[in-house]
Amino acid sequence: MYFGNFKQYTNALGGTLAVTNSSPVAGVKTIVFQIQIGEAIGHDFYYPTGYPILKINNSTNGISATFDPVLVDRYQNGTIVSPETGQEEPVYVNTWAYQWNLENTTSVSSFAIEFSAVTHAQIYAMQLDQSSVLQTSQLLSQSSEPSPPPQIRLLSVGTPQFDGLNTSMTHTFSGPSSKTIDVEYSGILATSGWSSKTNVSTGDGAFTTTFSASGDQCAAWAQRMFFRAKYSQNP
């Protein structure tokens, strides 16, 4: 399923869908929803209100997942030229798992899991599991990384400067607030030689970072520069 649009926007609402069940398992106490969704310009679900929520018995009130979402799997599905930066960026297909544990007193005659995706996102698969036995722990676990990687977005691009020995360049990003992350960078996407700017504080969600490398990188960095991020192990 494709959330189409004739234009490219970052984090634009592409549509809202729901997976519904009018005859759930009798006495259902745990619900697990998995969805494989392809990103569009760094986003899959619409931020910040599009993440899956549970609605019980036709209620308009949504319930957030009991546990943090689990990134069960991800793989790169090509690249896209960002309409904001003009730079080529990787596109990922993510498999997310959401789990809801219901109170013993909750009686469920129907439920819906509602979510919103960004424009140009694609849904490849979905799976819904239910149990009448309360599963007190999280059923699915991270396959490769200890936590879902932070999503960052380039807000403004600096100008590379060469001092005769090293090249430096300062960019401004948006990302999760009040976190410490490592931002990896390279002038070549298909390379194992990424450099890393470690222990970057994201502040209120908008942060500035200066990158450097030996030699004159001005021409290469002015043409293209790639970034990826992960949470710091030692913030």
- Which domain CATH number covers 188? 2.60.40
How confident is the model over 25-51, as pLDDT tens digits?
Answer: 999 999 999 999 999 888 999 999 999
Q: What is the structure's pLDDT at 143?
A: 58
Number of domains in the chain: 2
Task: Give Cα 172 to chain centroid, integer Å.
Answer: 19
Q: Which of 131, 162, 186 is the last residue of a domain?
A: 131
151 against 143, higher pLDDT: 151
Per cent of the chain over pLDDT 90 is 63
Mean pLDDT of 4-33: 93
- Are residues 18 and 86 both part of a single domain? yes
Mean pLDDT of 101-121: 94
Q: What is the structure's pLDDT at 192?
A: 60
DSSP strand pairing (166-174 vs 206-214)? antiparallel
Domain region containing 194:
153-231
Q: What is the structure's pLDDT at 149?
A: 73
195 and 186 Cβ atoms separated by less than 8 Å: yes
- Are residues 108 and 193 both part of a single domain? no
Q: How many CA atoms lie within 13 A of 101 on its CB side?
A: 10
